[in-house]
């Protein structure tokens, strides 16, 4: 298996801003690769909602994310970045889950410092700096023990205040202090939700070691695009309402030029046709749509 972590690191080390395309399934990952993105990203909210119909507020587990992320990583030639939430509850969890991400061919993840249950009604706050450093250190240890490269992105929620649904207080100096500490513990880059307002000031401190999620800012390392699952779900609601109310789906698009290429249909058809020819069986010029 190609060392996807090394591919992602080389992409970062080039120093040219890039976008990791938004994916939440194997086919959407393939689409991102097909249109030319150099990497892809799967968010926790996208994965929990699209595959399990649950929120990303501590209900969704690392086992479930690794299951879906591995399905994406294993059909791509480009690296996948995953949302690893808090990497579990202990440093042992952090080591164990990091090793599993690497074993499944994921190139990197981001790990956050908000306490569980996160993004919920509970006012939880953030892990102490020492606790979060220990998690990052455990993840880096797992990477070194694996013999493969792996990119660790530290997510700091200090600028994501409680009134906005986060666990931070909005203190910029504390956010910078945490960012330095997380990089010292072994993180490669840092990012700070929820929005772009503070990013220019963060670039002055961290340069291109600042990355973003959902929006691009010049001077940052890269952007992890996300949110496409919402459009997909909204379109499906529209289509199913048309079918229920009108008996047909007027807005549907059941075919497009890349449909079969994205699922390797020509490859598998070719294998079947070759087998049929070699064994004296019949084959046909067409296939099931």
Number of domains in the chain: 2
CB atoms within 10 A of CB 194: 16
pLDDT at 143: 98
Contact 101, 109 (CB under 8 A): yes
272-289 residue pLDDT tens: 999 999 999 998 888 777
Residue 62 scores a pLDDT above 60: yes
Whether residue 263 is found in the same domain as residue 205: no
CA nearest neighbour of 139 among 282, 31, 5, 48: 5
Whether residue 153 is found in the same domain as residue 106: yes
Give the residue numbers annotated as catalytic, written as ranges.
Answer: 56
Whether residue 214 is found in the same domain as residue 245: no
pTM for the full predicted model: 0.95
Residue that finishes a domain, picked among 188, 204, 226: 226
Q: Where are the beta strands (DSSP E) in 185-272?
A: 189-191, 210-213, 222-224
Whether residue 219 is found in the same domain as residue 239: no
| Rounded Cα distance, 74 and 91, in Å | 27
The whole domain housing 33 covers 4-226
Residue 161: strand pairing partners? 168
Q: Is 51 inside any structural domain?
A: yes
161-181 residue pLDDT tens: 988 888 999 999 999 999 999
Q: Is 205 inside any structural domain?
A: yes
Q: Is 11 inside any structural domain?
A: yes
Element (H, E) at 231: helix 228-246
pLDDT at 1: 55
| Rounded Cα distance, 57 and 266, in Å | 41
pLDDT class of 57 with cuts at 50, 70, 90: confident
Whether residue 96 is found in the same domain as residue 161: yes
Residue that finishes a domain, picked among 201, 226, 251: 226
CA nearest neighbour of 105 among 66, 137, 134, 133: 66
Q: Is 285 inside any structural domain?
A: no
| Rounded Cα distance, 235 and 284, in Å | 35
Q: Is 288 inside any structural domain?
A: no
Whether residue 91 is found in the same domain as residue 125: yes
Q: Is 287 inside any structural domain?
A: no
| Rounded Cα distance, 159 and 113, in Å | 12
**10-28 average pLDDT score:** 97
Q: Is 149 inside any structural domain?
A: yes
- CATH number of the domain that residue 193 is part of: 3.20.20.60
Whether residue 174 is found in the same domain as residue 209: yes
Whether residue 141 is found in the same domain as residue 273: no
Give backbone dihedrals phi and psi of 142, rounded to 5 degrees, phi first.
Answer: -60, -40
Whether residue 124 is found in the same domain as residue 221: yes
| Rounded Cα distance, 218 and 183, in Å | 21
Whether residue 206 is found in the same domain as residue 236: no
SS (H, E, C) 96-142: HHHHHHHHCCCCEEEEECECCCCCCCCCCCECCHHHHHHHHHHHHHH
Cα torsion at 183, 185, 191, 193 (round to 10°)? -140
Q: Is 196 inside any structural domain?
A: yes
Whether residue 123 is found in the same domain as residue 262: no
Whether residue 52 is found in the same domain as residue 180: yes
């Amino acid at each position: 298996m190609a060392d996807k972590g090394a591919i992602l690191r080389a992409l970062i080390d080039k120093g040219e801003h890039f976008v990791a395309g938004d994916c939440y399934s194997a086919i959407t990952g393939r689409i991102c690769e097909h249109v030319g993105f150099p990497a892809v990203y799967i968010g926790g909210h996208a994965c929990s909602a699209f595959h399990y119909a649950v929120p990303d507020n501590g209900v969704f587990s690392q086992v479930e994310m690794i299951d879906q992320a591995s399905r994406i990583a294993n059909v791509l030639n480009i690296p996948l970045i995953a949302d690893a939430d808090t990497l579990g509850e202990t440093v042992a969890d952090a080591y164990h889950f990091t090793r599993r991400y690497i074993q499944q061919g994921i190139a990197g993840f981001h790990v956050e410092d908000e306490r569980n249950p996160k993004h919920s009604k509970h006012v939880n706050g953030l892990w102490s700096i020492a606790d979060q450093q220990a998690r990052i250190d455990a993840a880096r240890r797992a990477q070194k023990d694996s013999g493969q490269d792996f990119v660790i992105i530290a997510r700091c929620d200090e600028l994501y205040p409680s009134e906005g649904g986060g666990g931070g207080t909005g203190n910029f100096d504390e956010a910078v202090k945490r960012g330095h500490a997380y990089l010292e513990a072994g993180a490669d880059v840092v990012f700070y939700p929820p929005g772009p307002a503070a990013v220019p000031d963060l670039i002055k401190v961290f340069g291109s070691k600042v990355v973003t999620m959902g929006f691009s800012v010049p001077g940052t390392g890269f952007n992890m695009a996300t949110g496409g699952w919402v459009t997909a779900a909204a379109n499906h609601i529209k289509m199913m309402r048309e079918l229920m109310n009108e008996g047909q789906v007027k807005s549907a698009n059941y075919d497009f030029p890349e449909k079969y290429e994205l699922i390797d249909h020509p490859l598998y058809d070719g294998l079947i046709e070759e087998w049929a020819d070699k064994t004296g069986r019949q084959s046909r010029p067409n296939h099931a749509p």
